[in-house]
Amino acid sequence: MKRVFSGVQPTGNIHIGNYLGALKQFVELQEDGDCIYCIVDMHSITLPQDPKELKTSILDVAALYMAIGLDPNKCTIFIQSDVSGHAELAWILMCNSYTGELSRMTQFKQKSKDEASAPAGLFTYPVLMAADILLYDTDIVPVGNDQKQHIELTRDIAQRINNTYGETFVVPDGRFLKEGARIMALDDPTVKMSKSSKNIHSRISLLDSPNKIKKSIMRSTTDSEGSIRFDASEKPGISNLLTIYSAFSGRRIEDLETEYSSAGYGAFKKDLVDVVCEELLPIQERFHEIRPSQELLNALKDGAERAENIAEKTMKRVKMRFGLGL
């Protein structure tokens, strides 16, 4: 059985980019993989967080994991900071990473450009991600396309250590979806949909009301040509909407182009609102049941124990290879 590992940051509301690019794959993979899904709270403190909001957000993401169909009896769900091995391994990996390769990470470049003085954690963030993955002898990492560079770095660090210290880590592979791998912002289809954008209409969060979903889709940026066809470079807005429609409905983009060949953008957008609501409303219902439940807390506690068991074995092996400790 393949070991699968992935993580989502508990910052803000999970949006349909996160859902289509990453979370939906999590659910499929739990059927035949040994899956571990983490809420990476230590990653989120690379930028300042309000402690109360962070705590709420962690539980929100955990409840959303379960609401979209992750079953704690089939996979392991836990909070990163509950297992100390992540930070411990990150240090060891940091000592085997180069500042040159870390300065080439595009996510770091983007996130640090607005900071007057970027925290060191923002710079070493990809190494903590590598530690998350390598700690569990992971074979497959399902993530959105934007994480490709971080997965490559993880593979490089693992191979480098295996070459120097002997077989220590499993070298993981990323798993990226072709369609829906990169959902773009609704207000500006040239940048990815993101939790951190200031405009709430740039994204659809999984917990948005039908009214908000409608508003965001109806006012989304398109073009003046008026024809519904996929052309990511000339028509990024409508292409993004087609991608979203296709990912939610399971229908091929070509079929949608045919169906809507004589329709206007307004009619197409209206149908898209229905398609999105149809999938999100049942998720929201389950979320509101799970969020206040003891079942959620039990799942996280169990998950942390299971994760800790695996992590402990890896840390023993790593320390032995490096000659650390007794």
Residue among 124 and 147 whose Cβ is closer to ligand LTN: 147
Phi, psi of 96 (to 5 degrees): -120, 20
Active-site annotation holder among 55, 74, 113, 192 = 192
**306 interacts with ligand ATP by CB under 6 A:** no
Q: Which does 129 bind (CB under 5 to 8 A by kind): ligand LTN, ligand ATP, none?
A: ligand LTN
CA distance 257 to 241: 11
Helix axes 51-67, 265-290, angle to 10 degrees: 100
Helix axes 236-249, 265-290, angle to 10 degrees: 50
Question: At 121, which amino acid appears?
Answer: G
CA distance 145 to 174: 9
Instruction: Using CB under 6 A, pick the residue from 3, 4, 9, 203 that binds ligand LTN.
Output: 9
Least distance CB 253 / ligand ATP (angstroms)? 16
Closest CA to 127 of 110, 149, 142: 149
Residue among 183 and 275 whose Cβ is closer to ligand ATP: 183
Instruction: Using CB under 6 A, pick the residue from 63, 67, 183, 207 that binds ligand ATP.
Output: 183
The question of whether 148 is a catalytic residue gets the answer no
Phi, psi of 113 (to 5 degrees): -70, -25
Instruction: Using CB under 6 A, pick the residue from 141, 184, 217, 241 that binds ligand LTN.
Output: 141
**7 interacts with ligand LTN by CB under 6 A:** yes
Q: Write each residue from 57 to 76 as x if it is in contact with ligand ATP (CB under 6 A), else as -, in one continuous string.
A: --------------------
DSSP letter string, 115-184: -SS--HHHHHHHHHHHHHHHTTT-SEEE--GGGHHHHHHHHHHHHHHHHHHSS-S---EEE--STTSSPB
The question of whether 195 is a catalytic residue gets the answer yes
Candidate ranges 16-24, 64-72, 121-129, 303-311; the one touching ligand ATP (CB under 6 A): 16-24
- Where does this chain bind ligand LTN (CB under 6 A)? 5-7, 9, 40, 43, 129, 132-133, 141, 143, 147, 150
- Where does this chain bind ligand ATP (CB under 6 A)? 8-9, 17-18, 21-22, 143-144, 146-147, 181-183, 192-196
- The catalytic residue positions are 111, 192, 195
